[in-house]
Amino acid sequence: MSERLFGTDGIRGLPGAPPLDDRTLRAVGRALGERLRGDTERPRVLIGMDTRESGPHIARQLAAGLAAAGAQPVSAGVITTPGVACLVRDNDFAAGIMVSASHNPYTDNGVKLLSHAGMKFPDEFEESLERRIAEAAESRGDGEFPLEPDPQFEERYLEFLRSRVPEAAGAAVAPGARTVKTVSAVQAVPATLAVTVVRPRSAVSGVRLIVNLPKVSLCATNSSGLPPSITRATSTSLSGG
């Protein structure tokens, strides 16, 4: 493992091939768990993923490595990267892992590590972790860790979003609702706003609302992980289905 694992945004590649082969993934989990145990007796690590088909397997391999190191892996299921960052920071997790390759082709995947503060780890931390990963990859270990999503984290993140979505952005969210209605995008909001609403028992497993002022983009993601359509609008309701 002479090449660097961590790029500008985590580890990325083709699932099943280095660095996303099972052996390396377990080594990443184990190395992270061992490093975190230097600060906490039994560190909890939250794992989230996007809807790529390879996500659950990668998450289980990472979890197996974490468990082998004495850490406690917890699954948030399908969620955004900001969602993992938020939940890690607000729920006393030692770290977070996001299984996603962002805008890369759906055949790719990746692993992003987040600190307790919900931010990317410093380069120095990643460099020290790479040395541990190389050592952990030499140890034997097979199998996956049974990882079931805990629905409480989805609801906690949605509650956080309901409390933070600014009215000035034109996003109206009723208490307890699982629907977001965008009214308009205005110049008053200085930053991009991302909201994910998960609707169970629906053909659409997730709806991502990106307010990138002055435009609004809606991206409905199906269970295969492929975005079927992107619609630009300034007044759109997501209350159907």
Contacts of residues 139-142 at CB distance under 8 Å and 24 or more positions apart, as own/partner, are: 139/27, 139/30, 141/23, 141/26, 141/30, 141/64, 141/65, 141/68
Find all residues with CB under 8 Å of 38, minimum gap 6, and list them.
Answer: none
Strands 44-49, 95-99: pairing kind: parallel
Half-sphere exposure of residue 121: CA atoms within 13 angstroms, side-chain side: 26
- Inter-residue contact 186 to 171 (CB < 8 Å): no
217 has catalytic annotation:
no
Q: One of 2, 100, 102, 223 is an active-site residue; which one?
A: 102
Structure tokens at 52: 């790529």
Instruction: Just list the catalytic residues.
Output: 102
